[in-house]
Amino acid sequence: MSAELNHTIVYSQNKGVAARFLAEILGASEPTPTPPFLAVALDNGVTLDFADARLPISTQHYAFLVDDPTFDAAFGRIVGRKLDYWADPMLGRPGEINHRSGGRGVYFKDPSGHLLELLTRTHVA
């Protein structure tokens, strides 16, 4: 059997707010309760299992490879919510998207401060 990522736990200030935020931005299905988590299922079978943090949260980075129509819809939601966004992970290019590897990418923060990335092409080294 090959190894595949099945799920990861995303610690949040409020798992309901964070899980619904991600599902809405991505246009994914409503989060599924899997106590003590709220799971957001992605199209490749991986779930992000949101949990309420009991300790201070160390922010993480989560990147999502999306097709062009999904990027357009998600970016429209980011702009519509008046969220801050950046073209780079160091947050040095505010209000921009990037065009690395012939695609598009954007970084933005979730309600718990995790840095989320949407990209339409994988980065070529």
Q: Tokens representing 58?
A: 């160390």
Total Cβ atoms within 10 A of residue 13:
14
Q: What confidence tier does 123 reach under pLDDT thresholds 50, 70, 90? A: confident
Residue ranges and CATH numbers for the domains of the chain are: 7-119 (3.10.180.10)
Rounded to 10 degrees, the C-alpha dihedral 41/46/50/51 comes to 140
What pTM was estimated for this model as a whole?
Answer: 0.95
**What confidence score (pLDDT) does residue 104 get?**
98
Contact 70, 30 (CB under 8 A): no
What's the chain's average pLDDT?
A: 96
Reported as a single tens digit per residue, the pLDDT across 79-118 is 999 999 999 999 999 999 999 999 999 999 999 999 999 9
